[in-house]
Amino acid sequence: MSAINEIQQKLMTQLDMKLEDLKPEQVARLVAAEVLTEREAALVQIRLETAKPMQAPEFREVTDHGYAPTLLQQSFSGTAPVLQTGKDTNAGVMKLGQVDWQQVFANCNLTYGRITSSSAFGCSSKPLFKEPTGATIKQGFRAAQVSEQELAVVLFSDKFKAHSELCSAQAYQEVCTPLAAAAAEYKSASHQEQREVGTQYSVVHKYQVPAGSFKIDTEHLELNPGFVKSVEEALSAAGNCLPEELSKFFEDRIFSTYGDVYPTEVMIGVAAFSTEVKNVTKQESKKQATDSAHVAAGGIGQGVAGKGDVAAGTEMASAEGAHAVNESRSWTSIGAAISDGKNPRSITSSREDSSAWRCIQYEKVASVFDFLPKNLLARVRELEQKLESQKKQLPALPPSEDLERRRLAVAAVIKGLQRLDRWQHTMYQRNEAQRLLAEVQIRQKRLETGESLLDDAEHKQIKWLVGLYSGFIWNVDDNKTSAAAQRSADVLANGR
């Protein structure tokens, strides 16, 4: 019989008490009463310490609160429902069993991939992994060292707004597959450092109440066989695709179903955020915009100081100290309901409720291909190398000719948008034309970089606007202007 079993038998025989029911302060009293020896007491202390439940620090008393059973976010207003918690009121800590941990993992959708190509940063329709055991999940959890955080996130591009609200700037650093074009584009967004007068940018005010973080050991996760089979089939069919078609091909066959990235490190808890749009009245760098946002960030609640990147193309600044809440902001919550619809600090009490925990920030993600079996991963890497080499072999115009082509394209787009003034149009169409005209005029200063001057939405909008006055047989000149502007918009959207 082992020493610990002997101690258990002694406690049951002499005191009718189970070892796990002992409290640390009782052990010393049992030694004084000569029920336990010093050595036995040491073994008991070790056993009690290793069996201690995982806990999150600084829990508050439960008040009026609620949560949203959704993947990322949900808006709330009015009075939130009261939830039951797993809190042990005697011990003052959260006691989570294996089933509880599995529920947390399921609520955070951590068996699913994430779809970067979606503007909403969606969850895959099918799971990437099978659900792990509660014991495996608990090993990857680390309790948070702070109870609250205030962040001000500056976004110079709204294209990946949903990603920026949830991902740190470093999250995509290890995602390097050229087959996931959207992920690569999201990474490159961080290069945008400055905005010109007359343009706009967004500031996301975020209030986070972290419970802890998951560092997910994917070695303990089992891949969904359907994902492996889909990749095998896609690789077999990819040989018939042109290089420029591969990214769209994998998006349709793999990424739309299983996601293009998987979160390997996430912060969980509850959070709320509010977005406001600001106008650039003087030439402003990313740092200057961030510093201004830092000053304006006061108005959420008592925060924890700190600084670092939060999202691609952004920087964040944390605010410190108690502030009055800005009642004019509309807040969106993640995991917990905002009880009065305006004060984000009302979500704080939901930190005690493990059923309210959701992913509130993605610290690190990896390509879904990284988890494939070695032989299949080797085939993916071979295809990626082939794609990169084919791209390099594509004939390119001499720099001078390419620059001239882009200059002519800018002129044609400007002329096409200005021509819209000759025709009757709605206020919306006029405002859109003026906005895009200003953007193109500003961005022509970046012609020599060879980068795309229009994102997908701007590209489509320009082609729609300049197409409004085309197609009439009596307007030959306008038809030519419209056609030239549409072709030129393609040039500016594709880059060099």
Beta strand segments in 192-289, E: 194-195, 200-215, 261-279, 284-285
**Rounded-to-integer distance, Cα 102 and Cα 430, Å:** 54
Rg (CA), the chain: 28
Shared domain for 409 and 365, answered yes or no, is no
How far from 462 is each of 102, 408, 451, 467, CA to CA, in Å? 49, 16, 18, 8
Confidence of residue 393 (pLDDT cuts 50, 70, 90): low
pTM: 0.55
By percentage, how much of the chain surpasses pLDDT 70? 64
Nearest Cα to 344, choosing from 304, 311, 307, 299?
299
Domain range for 467 is: 395-494
Domain boundary residue, one of 337, 364, 385 = 385
Shared domain for 265 and 343, answered yes or no, is yes
pLDDT score of 324:
29
Domain boundary residue, one of 326, 351, 385 = 385
Residue 57 lies in a domain: no
Shared domain for 149 and 208, answered yes or no, is yes
Residue 390 lies in a domain: no
Of 39-48, 63-72, 96-105, 219-228, the least confident: 63-72
pLDDT score of 310:
30
Residue 80 lies in a domain: no
* Average pLDDT of the residues in 272-299: 58
Residue 59 lies in a domain: no
Shared domain for 171 and 247, answered yes or no, is yes
Q: Which of 125-139, 261-275, 326-340, 452-466 has the largest mean confidence?
A: 261-275
Shared domain for 99 and 235, answered yes or no, is yes
pLDDT score of 494:
75
Shared domain for 115 and 27, answered yes or no, is no
Q: Which residue has the higher pLDDT, 413 or 327?
A: 413
Residue 334 lies in a domain: yes
The token duo for 101 is 């941990």
* Average pLDDT of the residues in 262-267: 90
Do 156 and 192 contact (CB within 8 A), yes or no? yes
Tell me the per-residue pLDDT of 169-218, one tens digit each, with 9 for 90 and over.
667 766 767 676 666 666 655 545 455 566 677 777 888 888 888 888 88
Shared domain for 207 and 236, answered yes or no, is yes
By percentage, how much of the chain surpasses pLDDT 90? 5
**Rounded-to-integer distance, Cα 476 and Cα 217, Å:** 64
Residue 64 lies in a domain: no
Q: Tell me: pLDDT of 302 over 60.
A: no
Tell me the per-residue pLDDT of 121-156, one tens digit each, with 9 for 90 and over.
778 899 999 888 766 777 778 887 777 887 776 665
**Rounded-to-integer distance, Cα 165 and Cα 151, Å:** 10
Give the three-state DSSP class for 352. helix
pLDDT score of 371:
92
Shared domain for 457 and 480, answered yes or no, is yes
Domain boundary residue, one of 323, 350, 385 = 385
Shared domain for 379 and 401, answered yes or no, is no
Confidence of residue 274 (pLDDT cuts 50, 70, 90): confident
Residue 340 lies in a domain: yes
**Rounded-to-integer distance, Cα 144 and Cα 412, Å:** 55
Give me the helices (H) in 273-318, please: 286-296
Shared domain for 33 and 129, answered yes or no, is no
pLDDT score of 323:
31
Shared domain for 93 and 27, answered yes or no, is no
Shared domain for 413 and 355, answered yes or no, is no
* Average pLDDT of the residues in 54-79: 30
- Within 8 A by CB and 6+ apart from 56, the residues are 93, 94, 143, 144, 211, 212, 351
Residue 352 lies in a domain: yes
What's the domain count of the chain?
3
Of 21-35, 272-286, 409-423, the least confident: 272-286
